[in-house]
Amino acid sequence: MSADPSARRGIPDATVARLPEYLRALTGLAERGITSVSSEELAAAAGVRSAKLRKDLSYLGSYGVRGVGYEVDHLAYQISRELGLTQDWPVAIVGMGNLGHALAAYSGFATRGFRVVALLDQDPAIVGQEIAGLAVQPMSELTALVSEQGLAIGVIATPAASAQDVCDALVAAGVRSILNFAPCVLVVPDGVDVRKVDLSTELQILAFHEQRKALASPAALRKAVAP
Amino acid sequence: MSADPSARRGIPDATVARLPEYLRALTGLAERGITSVSSEELAAAAGVRSAKLRKDLSYLGSYGVRGVGYEVDHLAYQISRELGLTQDWPVAIVGMGNLGHALAAYSGFATRGFRVVALLDQDPAIVGQEIAGLAVQPMSELTALVSEQGLAIGVIATPAASAQDVCDALVAAGVRSILNFAPCVLVVPDGVDVRKVDLSTELQILAFHEQRKALASPAALRKAVAP
DNA sequence: ACGCGGTTGTGAACCGATGCACAAAGTCAC
DNA sequence: GTGACTTTGTGCATCGGTTCACAACCGCGT
């Protein structure tokens, strides 16, 4: 078992978070017909330093050739495999408001590896509507979706007020990976992963830096800050 | 200048990224009529450890009272001020596809401190349409928006292929803070901040951990992994 | 006036991630 | 086959962030 180069236990979180970006860069290169790439070039395409890229890739194994670089297709496959994208992950989106609606139709969602198998909503007035080719189902279908479709990932696109209830329902049905768009913290049992995407948080972080810049530069002629 | 408690230069990035969450938790407490809170309680509401919370807050100044805790309103104000939310930030959304449409209508976007002042698109067929009460404008309006409306933050919701062009246009018009929803890396000059939100990346990170769990547990009966 | 329970603020140890610099290892030309 | 050149993989120093543990401090009851 120690001979398997991918048997590496414990890839750093920071590295895992960058692998999708590397994969995207590799896909772009492949589409342009490029078959081989150096760490310097790939790092530039992914927006990181080459040393960081090489160290990241070294956690996966030795897939490069010294003096030459990396074979694009092979490296892309290895990253895909490490990320678990060689199998299909059934995804359900809960909450068919503005955001859920857009997510259901968002093409980037259906990239390799993921398949939206169900749309759900608590509101009986919305259940039954067809969105992006799928009929909206009631929350009671969750358990069946997990056992019959192998549903593994849930996306919460509800208002904050109902997000915890929806989350509890997902967990109860057996979903252990959740992507949360609602602006609130979710409490989940051990073994369940939650990642949060929050537009308003990102804007506030930008505002902090923008304010810092406005105060530092003499061009603070806009909406002058109160003294 | 050293007497000003907010003159602290260099609040760690990790801390800044958590301030919005603290602010949200405080707002929730205030709505429930709670006027005082301990670091332990606030940390629980924000999903962090109390020691981390206290250290984060210590970068802003000493706004707590030993033996008592923090006054909710006062602390919320101090965080708002540090984040630059006591002034209004005019925001423009570029790209009125599915996602841009949803963002324009998303209420969470219009939280305190931010105001969507313009929607833009490159496609002449979309320009002129009214979305969420605003008429979609052409990209050529950008410079006027910056000088007349004080536009400071741009949101890119276009396909990846046109994201860099849109980004260049924003920067040329004078926008120095950009929130990018397109799945690609943007190159910008020094002094411009870019934050990226990528749905597909988040899903892939979840998939990595999900696969890890599936391999570790005996319940790997789903879509069995290839040997 | 004074001690006691309780909570903050922070110095110091710890831990993971980043950047540097170079030895190891491969290709290519001849 | 050999030597020059190129690029990877990695040991090591460094840095930023997290956690621990406790002294400083506040308010209250007596």
Average of pLDDT values for A210-214?
92
Quote the longest CA-to-CA distance of chain B.
66
Note the pTM of the prediction, 2 decimals: 0.92
Residues B169 and B143 in one domain: yes
Which residues lie below 8 Å from residue B78, measured CB to CB, with a gap of 6+?
B6, B60, B61, B63
Burial of A86 (0-12, 13-18, 19+ CB in 10 A): middle
* Domain termination site, one of B37, B53, B83: B83
Q: Give contacts of A20 with chain B, Cβ < 8 Å.
A: 198, 200-201, 204-205
CB atoms within 10 A of CB B7: 9
Domain count, chain B: 3
Return the exposure string of A179-213: e unless at least 16 CB atoms fall within 10 Å of the residue's CB, then b.
Answer: bbbbbbbbebeeebbbebbbbbbbbbbbbbbbbeb
Residues A99 and A79 in one domain: no
A35 touches chain B (CB under 8 A): no
Residues A109 and A189 in one domain: yes
State the CATH number of the domain containing residue B99: 3.40.50.720
A87, A176, A212 member nearest B223 (Cβ): A87
Residues B185 and B97 in one domain: yes
Take residue B165 and report the two structure tokens written for it. 């062009």
Residues B42 and B55 in one domain: yes
**Confidence at residue A215, expressed as pLDDT on a 0 to 100 scale:** 82
Tell me the pLDDT tens digit for each residue of B111-166.
778 999 999 999 999 999 999 999 999 999 999 999 999 999 999 999 999 999 99
User: Does A95 carry a binding-site annotation?
Assistant: yes
Residues B152 and B104 in one domain: yes
State the CATH number of the domain containing residue A78: 1.10.10.10
B14 touches strand D (CB under 7 A): yes
Binding-site annotation: residue ranges of B for NAD(+): 95-100
For residue A211, give the chain B residue with the closest CA.
Answer: B84
Which residues lie below 8 Å from residue A119, measured CB to CB, with a gap of 6+?
A92, A93, A96, A100, A104, A131, A132, A134, A135, A136, A137
CA of residue B100 to C1' of nucleotide D8, angstroms: 43
Residues B176 and B218 in one domain: no
Which residues lie below 8 Å from residue A225, measured CB to CB, with a gap of 6+?
A214, A215, B87
Residues B185 and B96 in one domain: yes
**Confidence at residue A110, expressed as pLDDT on a 0 to 100 scale:** 67
Residue with tokens 């992994």: B225
Tell me the pLDDT tens digit for each residue of A33-87.
999 999 999 999 999 999 999 999 999 999 999 999 999 999 999 999 999 999 9
Please tell me the distance from the alpha carbon of residue A72 to that of residue A84, in angstroms, as a whole number: 18
Long-range Cβ contact pairs of B212-220 (< 8 A, separation 24 or more) = B212/A84, B213/A176, B213/A191
Q: Give contacts of B187 with chain A, Cβ < 8 Å.
A: 47
Residues B188 and B222 in one domain: no
Please tell me the distance from the alpha carbon of residue A55 to that of residue A82, in angstroms, as a whole number: 15
* Domain termination site, one of A83, A104, A131: A83
Compute the mean pLDDT over every residue in chain A, rounded to the nearest whole number.
Answer: 91
User: Does A139 carry a binding-site annotation?
Assistant: no
Residues A110 and A140 in one domain: yes
For residue B211, give the chain A residue with the closest CA.
Answer: A84
* Domain termination site, one of B83, B105, B140: B83
Nucleotides of chain D in contact with protein CB (under 7 A) are 5-11, 16-21, 24-27
Burial of B26 (0-12, 13-18, 19+ CB in 10 A): buried
CB contact under 8 A, B204 and A83: yes
In a 3-state reduction of DSSP, which class is residue B64?
strand
Q: Which residues of chain B have pLDDT under 50?
A: 1-8, 220-227
Residues B58 and B110 in one domain: no
**Confidence at residue A112, expressed as pLDDT on a 0 to 100 scale:** 76
As a whole-number percent, the residues of chain A with pLDDT over 70 amount to 90
Range of the domain at A106: 89-196
B68 touches strand D (CB under 7 A): yes
B59 touches chain A (CB under 8 A): no
Please tell me the distance from the alpha carbon of residue A114 to that of residue B205, in angstroms, as a whole number: 12
Tell me the pLDDT tens digit for each residue of A76-131.
999 999 999 999 999 999 999 999 999 999 877 667 789 999 999 999 999 999 99
Burial of B10 (0-12, 13-18, 19+ CB in 10 A): exposed
B102 touches chain A (CB under 8 A): yes
Residues B43 and B138 in one domain: no
Q: How many helices (H) and strands (E) does chain B have?
A: 8, 10
